[in-house]
Every structure is written in structure tokens, then in C-alpha cells.
Amino acid sequence: MDPLVPPRVSRMIPYAPGKPLEELERELGIRDAVKLASNENPVGPSPKVVEALGRALASVSFYPDGAAFALRSALAAHHGVDLDEICLGNGSNELIDLLCRTFPGPDDHAVFGRPSFVCYWLGCTAAGVPFTEAPLREDLAWDVDALLASVEPRTKLLFLANPNNPTGAYVARQELHRLLRELPPRVVCVVDEAYVEFADADDYASALELRDLRERLIVLRTFSKAYGLAGLRVGYAIGPRALIDGLQRMRAPFNVGSLGQLAARVALEDPEHVRAYVELNRRERARVTAGLRELGLSVAPSQANFVLVDVGRPGQELYQALLRKGVIVRPMPPPIDRHLRISIGTAAMNDRMLAAMAEVL
Ligand SMILES: Cc1ncc(COP(=O)(O)O)c(C=O)c1O
């Protein structure tokens, strides 16, 4: 590496996305591979979104609205918050990065779970922010005590994915309550709710309902999952004005494109499309969980659009064997390298995955 590249950068490990469908089809010479590796919406966006995008294509010679007034207004109305309590991101990924660059510095410290979403690690490492990874429980459930115990006097940022990726586990309302109250006031608590729409446990609560409990609370949401707009990169943060103002100063101009802004706004107007997908996911998640358990595998209870499966052997082996059957899932790094993360697809996709799994086992 060029000596000009600082250690903070050379330490980075490029994000490894799920294997692209086209790549596997090319390698195997097949046309019907199934990708259940990136927790994407398998039914696609609302037809109203597709139609609106078609009409808007001719306008892409213009810059987008840098303030994204229409989308932020729609989101403000949707959530009952003020416009200046919302910052948009190029996917919530960009907001994670911005949070790591905006609030803590190299003399501060961040906390997040292990295993949890890999981008917290990437964001802190890129920004040169020291961090502690709080262990989950043995059964991969969240451990709020471990998160609180990882907080140091210099801690400025804490990420909680609720539901968590890659486990699908959630922090129940009372425990979330406790975390928000017991975390020292100086810490910016970020609750990443990328999978919130899929959570249906009676005691699940969005942190948006608990904003009264602490000042420094930021909730992340995305249009990539339930709304099916992953390719357009639209996420947002909701938080107190003073913190959102900090993110607005740090973000790049025009960070969300005009098509993304439009698609997200139209998607909000079609809640029925989201509801139908969430219902499909609920049914199929139960069926996939039961099907994998029938094959003798251990499946963690999930509140998201994927399941984490303990395959009892190196996950890479099974991952490769499934690839040869045309099914792409996600192998996991240590400490859960005996697990595979499998996204919930349509009934046909899940049948294909379950049949392939039965064969390779
Ligand atoms: C917990 C969590 N947060 C954030 C994201 C990022 O989503 P996006 O950048 O597409 O909004 C993901 C994506 O997989 C995720 O799992």
C-alpha cells in the first residue's frame, strides 16, 4: 500500500456485499439462481413508485433538491416530528458513517454489539474512533447490561440495531427503556431500526415512541428493506434539532438523488404495498424457521426479514454447497462462523432454498 495511506485507512476491510445473482448465474451457466443474501425485498417496490420513476427519468439532468424539502416534509408528517428533526442519508449506511465522523473524535469512544451490523465497525474505524464491541448473550440475544458496562467516561456514541442484524433479535420495550435512561446523558444513542416494519413481538417498541426518555437519541430508518428501494439508497435519521443540524453540516451536498427522493415519497403513499410484503414475510419467516428446524438446524427467533441459522459446521462449507445449487445465502464471520444468514424470500424462493438445504445436508 502507498505509504501515504494512513494506518486508519489500511486497517479498513472493504464491506463484502452478498454475492450478486448475475455473477453466480454466469459462473454456473444457469438462469434461475436465487439470492437470499442481502435482506432485500423479494417482491419489489410499489408499482406506483415504478410508474412515478418512469415519468421522472427525463429530469435527471437537474440536480436534486439539496434540502429534500418534499420528502422531509412527508416524513415529518408521517412520524409527527418537525422538518429539522430529520436528516436524509444515501442509505442509512451514509448516516452511520456521518454519525461516526460528526460526534466522536479520536479521543472519544463508541460502543456497539458483537455480532451486530458490520458498518458500525467500518464507520468507527474509518473515522479513527476507538470502540468497544459489547458481547451478546450466549443465545445471541441482546445484553443491555453488557452494552452499559462497555460505556467509558469518554464514550460519545452507542449503536443499537433493533432488531439486530445478523441475529434478528430485539431489545424489548422495558430493556430499551432502561438503556435509554441509564446511558449517561453525554452519549449519543443511535437506535438503528432498519428492520422495524418486520418486528411484530408484543413487547417490541420503536425508540421513536421513547424520545421523551433522553435528549441525545437518534433513530435510523431506511427505505431499503420493507419499502424495496435498496438500489436507490435512501435512509434517514430522526433526532433532536441540535444533533440533526450537526449531521446536515457534515453530509455531502445532494447526498440523495432526485429519483431516490421521489421514490421514497411515493412509497410512503402506498402503505398497503408495504403491509402486504410484511405479512408475506411474517408467514414465510415462520415457515422457513419450521422448515430449517425440521432439517435439524437451530434457528434463532427473528423479528426481521432474515433468519440466522446454526448449521453446526463451518458455514462456508454449506454456503459453497448451496451456491452450487444456485442458492446464495450469507456466510458469517467469527464468532458466528458456524452460522448462515438467510433472507426470507417469496414462497417459491424459500421452497428452492429449503430443497437445496435438504440436499446439501
Ligand atoms: C441494521 C442495518 N442498518 C442499516 C443498514 C443499511 O441499510 P441502507 O444503507 O440500505 O439504508 C442495514 C443493511 O443491511 C442494516 O442491516
CATH no. for residue 338? Answer: 3.90.1150.10
Which residue, of 234, 268, 302, is where some domain finishes? 268
> Is 11 a residue whose pLDDT tops 90?
no
Is 262 in a helix, a strand, or coil?
A: helix
pTM for the predicted model, two decimal places: 0.97
Q: Is residue 160 part of a domain?
A: yes
Our count of domains for the chain comes to 2
Instruction: Please choose, from the candidates 177, 185, 139, the residue with its C-alpha nearest in 3D space to the C-alpha of residue 301.
Output: 139
Alpha-helical runs (H) found in the chain? 7-10, 21-28, 47-56, 69-79, 91-102, 118-127, 144-149, 173-182, 241-250, 258-268, 271-294, 315-324, 347-360
Same domain? 178 vs 33: no
Q: Is residue 2 part of a domain?
A: no
In a shared domain, residues 149 and 229: yes
Contacting residues for 227 by C-beta, under 8 A, at least 6 apart: 41, 45, 46, 264, 267, 274
Distance from residue 119's CA to the centre of ligand 1 (Å): 8
- Counting residues of the chain whose pLDDT is more than 90, the rounded percentage is 93
Examine the pLDDT at 114 and tell me if it is beyond 90.
Answer: yes
Protein residue closest via CA to atom 13 of ligand 1: 194
pLDDT value of residue 1: 86
Boundary of a domain, candidates 228, 243, 268: 268
Using the predicted structure, report yes or no on whether residue 136 has a pLDDT greater than 90: yes
Residues in contact with ligand 1 by the CB-under-6-Å rule are 39, 91-93, 117, 161, 165, 192, 194, 222, 224, 230, 235
Residue 1, in any domain of the structure: no
Q: How far is the CA of 225 from the centre of ligand 1 (A)?
A: 8
Q: Which residue among 268, 286, 303 closes a domain?
A: 268
Specify the ligand 1 atom closest to the Cα of 92: 11
Given a cut of 90, is residue 30 above it in pLDDT? no
Cβ neighbours, 10 Å, residue 295: 13
Among 90, 192, 306, the mutation site with the greatest number of ligand 1 atoms within 8 A of its Cβ is 192
Same domain, 234 and 336: no
User: Measuring CA to CA, which residue among 258, 233, 244, 228 is closest to residue 79?
Assistant: 244
pLDDT at 213 (0 to 100): 96
Task: Kindly state whether residues 110 and 168 are assigned to the same domain.
Answer: yes
Does residue 31 sit in the same domain as residue 90? Answer: no
Among 97, 116, 117, say which to mutate for ligand 1: greatest number of ligand atoms within 8 Å of CB: 117
Judge if 338 and 236 occupy the same domain: no
Give the residue numbers spanning the domain of 214.
47-268
